[in-house]
Amino acid sequence: MGEHMRVDEDGPVLTVTFTRLEKRNAVSDEMFDALRAALRSMQERADLRVLVLTGEGEWFTAGLDLQGGFARGLYEPAEHQGQAFRQRYRQLHLLFDDIEATEKPVVLAAQGPCFGVGLELACSCDIRVASTTTTFSLPEVRFGAVAGSGGTTRLTRIVGPSWAKWVAMAGQTIDADRALQIGLVQEVVAPERFTARVRELAADLATIPAEGMGLAKLLVDAAVDLDRTTARHLDRIAVTGLYDTGTVAEHRQRFE
């Protein structure tokens, strides 16, 4: 998949690993292209049930590679730079939206610092696991910019306005324990157990019936924007649909 990223299949689990250690896993155009390809495989293949995104080395990612494709906007005439960057950021929006909409679990396993676009990527995933050495930051504001790929909006939905302002507006870095406290991550694991725990979690997710899990993901995401009555109607419609197709009866036998 290229020199900056490795993609591994282990049965139903597809793992994408950032391997650009010399750049602190700064995300290049090549890495985004590889991530899109891996996501397409997940969406098209029924045998792939879980996607894990992780990194190799001390960093999950330091953020965007500003010496790569994104830097091209800097060489546009001043009056065109805004448009150039909007187009580039739109590509990231579409990728992160696609990750969020995938009806299969996407696990972000941050084994080290997760900065900038890495945190924006994390916020588009369903489950976030961090090592005790992980820190999270949106440093763009310190450079006179903002997180432009949906990071501020998704972060706010996850942790609420107060903590989102602490990270995105005040440019503060938070550690793994704080991330767990505010709900940014669901689990924090010691480095020596990190890889094993992520594999264990992914293997467990792969055993859950795909139809129910996919619907649960859609219902949770929809509930954020819907009124309570409509959301409850959707819950009821979804579960009765699973019973009507025989899905529940088929899988219930495992527990009898």
Give pLDDT, residue 240: 84
| pLDDT at 49 exceeding the cut of 90 | yes
Residue 149 pLDDT grade (very low, low, confident, very high; cuts 50, 70, 90) = confident
Share of the chain above pLDDT 90, in %: 70
User: For the segment 102-121, what is each residue's pLDDT rounded down to a tens digit?
Assistant: 999 999 999 999 999 999 99
| pLDDT at 83 exceeding the cut of 80 | no
| pLDDT at 75 exceeding the cut of 60 | no
Give pLDDT, residue 18: 98
Residue 238 pLDDT grade (very low, low, confident, very high; cuts 50, 70, 90) = confident
Residue 22 designated active-site: no
From 140, 187, 200, 211, active-site residue: 140
Give pLDDT, residue 84: 65
Give pLDDT, residue 172: 98
Looking at residues 99-103, what average pLDDT do you find? 95
Residue 207 pLDDT grade (very low, low, confident, very high; cuts 50, 70, 90) = very high
- Quote the pTM value: 0.90
Residue 56 designated active-site: no
From 22, 58, 120, 256, active-site residue: 120
> According to the per-residue pLDDT averaged within each range, which of 40-49, 145-154, 230-239 is highest?
40-49
Looking at residues 190-194, what average pLDDT do you find? 98
Give pLDDT, residue 254: 63
Q: What gap in Å lies between CA 94 and CA 117, rounded to an integer?
A: 14
Share of the chain above pLDDT 70, in %: 87
| pLDDT at 78 exceeding the cut of 80 | no
Residue 145 pLDDT grade (very low, low, confident, very high; cuts 50, 70, 90) = confident
